[in-house]
Amino acid sequence: MAPDQVGAALRFPQGFRWGAATAAYQIEGAVQEDGRTPSIWDTFARTPGKVFHGHTGDVACDHYHRYRDDVALMAGLGVGTYRFSLAWPRIKPDGSGPVNGRGLDFYDRLVDELLAKGISPMATLYHWDLPQVLEDRGGWTNRDTAYYFADLAAAAVARLGDRVATWTTLNEPWCSAFLGYAAGVHAPGREDPTAAFQAVHHLLLGHGLAVRALRDGGAREVSLTLNLARVRPDDPADPHDLAAVHLIEGLHNRLWLDPVLRGAYPADMLALFRRFGADHVIRPGDDAIIAAPIDFLGVNYYQPARVRAALGVDGGPANPGTEGAEYVAQDLPVTAMDWPVDPSSFYELLMWLSDGYPGTPMMITENGAAYDDVLVGDRVADTDRVGFLDGHLRAVHQALAEGADVRGYLAWSLLDNYEWGYGYGKRFGIVHVDYDTQRRTLKDSARWYAAVIGRNGLD
Ligand code: FCB
């Protein structure tokens, strides 16, 4: 059914999936329980100077012990789909060897609890917490990691596949490769562009192998989640600015979308592999593995980008090979992350995807914002977040009305949580978490979102 508009009220298509998302290391805590071994984030967080105030995910939201309450919270909001991630070091503590049943038991309990409350589980296999033992053997620069990842997928679907219908292989591999191996601001904190390009290919190979393993295990719906960028030129009439856009947008979008949805890397991206001496990791036959069909594309969207051509600058360490292209400031309101807010760029991204990669349904697997929330008594009046979510949902609705095939929307995040390099300093939740007492408080945005879900639309 098509989306609808009655006066100012917007209705989403019938069956549109509403939900919320989280990730293992950001909420679980219990890092030493039931056989879990350290991940690269445990190591990185303990490396002085890497994370805000040296915060770690040791306790986080203590979701490992409080998952029942958190599921009840979601049920109260009317959340229909819950996207969470499985911690590799819980399931395979030595990365590649035997399955740790106790690690899987946790997800087993979580999934049962979700189903009992009528919430569909959506499991992400990799949200950045590679077992440290695998990083010690080269991490994603090592081709073996891709095969170990497929083994993880097989173990997970064997245990949970009878109840989990929807699977995602990787979350935002751009961040794993370029923030983790090139810019060094995410785990494992390496600053080596060659390693980053090796990681790109092995992440994609791992994705393709995992798709196969999931299908073999009977998975009903398989997807990949990317953080895609809508990059605008500073001057749309300047061909140099347009070339700069193409380059930056290539690293963020085409480098991932083309091999997965079109069967091959774009020529300009292949040239970057060669330039950084990483092309030898691409082997005959890999293309076909990576292009294994997926059922939908997960789209994570947070902020717009604007670039221009300029001599003697580049896109920074997270964008290797972008000499002559530079990010420029945008005159827009910003969130607590300093990320510019512009729903129209979200709409444009969805239309660009829909036009350029037709035939692949999309699901918004993350969208949300951090603001400096204040808890007063029992209330967080987070009007900015409500405005952000409302604006971005209107953008999704507009894209739907113009033909984009978007199947659902998951808010990031259910809970305030461990925001990677920013530690507990940034709050993205629609539910406030007091980290001293672990008390959860619905923010105004949570109540607002519950109403949106309830009426399948905006008023
Ligand atoms: C995304 C991550 C997610 C969260 C949000 C704010 O890049 O996938 O874990 O940190 O950003």
Residue 172 Cβ inside 6 Å of ligand 1? The answer reads yes
Q: How far apart are CA 206 and CA 409, in angstroms?
A: 26
Neighbour order of strands in the sheet with 325-327: 231-233, 305-309, 325-327
Tokens coding 300: 């994570």
* pLDDT surpassing 80 at residue 251: yes
Ligand 1 atom index nearest CA of 420: 10
Query: Taking the complete model, does pTM exceed 0.85, yes or no?
Result: yes
Tens digit of pLDDT for each residue in 91-150? Answer: 999 999 999 999 999 999 999 999 999 999 999 999 999 999 999 999 999 999 999 999
* Partners of 167 in the β-ladder: 123, 222
Q: 342 near 369, Cβ under 8 Å?
A: no
Tens digit of pLDDT for each residue in 189-201? Answer: 999 999 999 999 9
Ligand 1 atom index nearest CA of 368: 6
Q: Where do we find the tokens 């990791």?
A: 281
Amino acid at 321: G
Tens digit of pLDDT for each residue in 354-387? Answer: 999 999 999 999 999 999 999 999 999 999 999 9
Cis? peptide before 38, omega within 30° of 0: no
Ligand 1: residue whose CA is nearest its atom 9: 23
Q: 163 near 118, Cβ under 8 Å?
A: no
Tokens coding 161: 């596949």
Q: What is the average pLDDT value for the chain, to the nearest integer?
A: 98
Please say whether the dihedral angle defined by the alpha carbons of residues 48, 190, 257 and 304, taken in this order, is positive or negative. positive
172 is catalytic: yes
Please give the DSSP secondary-structure letter assigned to residue 334.
Answer: B
Ligand 1 atom index nearest CA of 26: 9
So what's the pLDDT on residue 3?
Answer: 74
| Farthest CA pair distance, the chain | 61
Radius of gyration of the chain (CA): 21
So what's the pLDDT on residue 68?
Answer: 98
CB within 8 A of 157, min separation 6: which ones? 164, 167, 213, 214, 217, 218, 219
Say if residue 394 is exposed, middle or buried (CB neighbours under 10 Å; 0-12, 13-18, 19+).
middle
Distances (CA, A) of 381 to 146, 166, 176, 284, 431: 44, 34, 34, 55, 11
Q: How far apart are CA 449 and CA 430, in angstroms?
A: 8
Question: How much distance in Å is there from the Cα of 2 to the middle of ligand 1?
Answer: 30
Tokens coding 82: 């819950």
> Between the CA atoms of 289, 185, 298 and 352, what dihedral angle is there, to the nearest 10 degrees?
-100
Question: How much distance in Å is there from the Cα of 5 to the middle of ligand 1?
Answer: 31
Q: Band the pLDDT of 333: cuts 50, 70, 90.
A: very high
Q: Band the pLDDT of 181: cuts 50, 70, 90.
A: very high
419 is catalytic: no
Tens digit of pLDDT for each residue in 32-65? Answer: 999 999 999 999 999 999 999 999 999 999 999 9
Mean pLDDT for the stretch of residues 388-398: 98
* pLDDT surpassing 80 at residue 168: yes
Mean pLDDT for the stretch of residues 331-357: 98
Tokens coding 50: 């890497």
So what's the pLDDT on residue 9?
Answer: 87
Q: Where do we find the tokens 């808890």?
A: 375
Residue 16 Cβ inside 6 Å of ligand 1? The answer reads no
* pLDDT surpassing 60 at residue 1: no
Question: How much distance in Å is there from the Cα of 280 to the middle of ligand 1?
Answer: 31
Residue 424 Cβ inside 6 Å of ligand 1? The answer reads no
So what's the pLDDT on residue 394?
Answer: 98
* pLDDT surpassing 80 at residue 185: yes
Distances (CA, A) of 150 to 53, 207, 212: 35, 8, 8
Residue 129 Cβ inside 6 Å of ligand 1? The answer reads no
Tens digit of pLDDT for each residue in 420-454? Answer: 999 999 999 999 999 999 999 999 999 999 999 99
Ligand 1: residue whose CA is nearest its atom 2: 172
The one catalytic residue in 28, 172, 249, 419 is: 172
* pLDDT surpassing 90 at residue 7: no
Question: How much distance in Å is there from the Cα of 233 to the middle of ligand 1?
Answer: 25
* pLDDT surpassing 80 at residue 261: yes
Q: Percentage of residues in the chain with pLDDT exceeding 70? A: 99
Q: Band the pLDDT of 188: cuts 50, 70, 90.
A: very high
Mean pLDDT for the stretch of residues 152-180: 98
Tokens coding 157: 């679907």
Q: Percentage of residues in the chain with pLDDT exceeding 90? A: 98
Length of the chain: 459
Residue to substitute in 127, 172, 186 for testing ligand 1 pocket (most ligand atoms within 8 angstroms of CB):
172
